[in-house]
Amino acid sequence: MSETGETAAGRRANKRAAVFRTIGEVAEDLDLPAHVLRFWESKFSQLKPLKRGGGRRYYRPEDIALLSRIRQCLYQEGYTIRGVQKLLSEGTLDASSAATDVAPSLFPLDPIPAPAAEPRSRPARASRRATAQEPSLPPEPIVIAEPQPVGLSAAGKAALQAAAQELLSARQLLEALIQSRRKA
């Protein structure tokens, strides 16, 4: 990593949680590209970062919590942008219900574990669709195959040696046939 990258990371580590963050810092923390955050600003009217001269964005801690919750709904819970907009307009999606103690995943499609104290207010979109269409079935048991030993068993070795002997005898017969044709 370059020296400037190391010093920037060191400065961010020393920042308090209550300070404003730039779009680059927020994008890095949420593991999202900065252009996605700008796009979300156009789709979610509740996101209003402060803009200074030159259009530089500064996100408040509330904005970051809301962005984290939107990210969770879109990537982990399977909502569409329109679905998240509806949740925000109904007031059922608030940043305080987000799992704040869970760091963003490097794999955005992995589910974020739900907090144990507070059940989710709405089921994920895919599970709502599944429960509406068919009754729940018990999960199929997982069958784990026994590991196969490396190498051959004694019976396998004997069969292999017998096959090798048959091949050698067939080779000898072919060589004898070829020699008899050459002589004739």
- Whole-number percent of the chain with pLDDT over 90: 18
- C-alpha dihedral sign at 147, 151, 156, 159: positive
Copy the structure tokens of residue 39: 């796009």
Residue-level pLDDT at 39:
93
What is the rounded average pLDDT of the residues 19-43? 90
pTM, two decimals, is 0.46
- Whole-number percent of the chain with pLDDT over 70: 59
Residue-level pLDDT at 137:
63
- Read off the pLDDT of residues 99-157 as tens digits, 9 standing for 90 and up: 444 445 545 555 555 555 444 455 555 555 555 555 556 667 766 666 666 677 788 88
Task: Domains for the chain: give ranges and CATH numbers.
Answer: 10-114+121-128 (1.10.1660.10)
User: Mean pLDDT in the chain?
Assistant: 74
Residue-level pLDDT at 99:
44
